[in-house]
Amino acid sequence: MTNKRLFIALPLPDPLRHTICNIRDALHGQCQGRPVASANLHLTLAFLGDTPDKALPDIQALLAGLPDNYGTLILDELGCFRQQHGHVVWLGCSTIPAALAAGLAQLQQGLRALGLPVEKRPWQPHITLLRDAAPWQARLAPTLEWQTGAAGLYASTLTPQGPSYTRIDSIYP
């Protein structure tokens, strides 16, 4: 039986992705670390980890029943998580809008019903910009508006050059 390392995430529209790349590059000058490739920028709703392929039809059905958007997100916070090797520096939202909270709750309920893992820690919506970086101290951040769309299902492949993400909900309908 084959497995895929799966996660469910909101993809960024290209104009916003370009703006966020500029922010990432400015932060890289201050915090160093490894910048996340433009194509890999996203906001994760759920990380499923290694999942058997036989679960894919149920996950696809769950995705099909999720909202087609999660409202408008205001990206207004730069923060960092401490990790084993340095820090993850991210752009996120200081408040979680109702549409996002409701969509996340629906997704988590569906994952639980399928016996799939659900994160127990409080959720901080974020887009990872840098890994293995120095801590980001200041809290000042630009305010960017994001009209979100539907969530996608992604497979992550770990390579020596870093992870590669492939959107698979259109490949395995």
Using CB under 6 A as the criterion, which residues of the chain lie in contact with ligand 2AM when the complex forms?
7, 44, 47, 88, 128, 156
Residue 126 annotated in active site: yes
Minimum distance from residue 49 beta carbon to ligand 2AM (Å): 7
Minimum distance from residue 47 beta carbon to ligand 2AM (Å): 3
Q: In what order do the strands lie in the sheet with 34-35?
A: 34-35, 126-133, 87-92, 77-82
Q: In what order do the strands lie in the sheet with 3-11?
A: 42-52, 3-11, 152-159, 162-167
Q: Which residue stretches of the chain are H helix?
A: 14-31, 56-64, 98-113
7 or 70, CB closer to ligand 2AM? 7
Minimum distance from residue 1 beta carbon to ligand 2AM (Å): 21
Residue 18 annotated in active site: no
| Catalytic sites, residue numbers | 42, 126
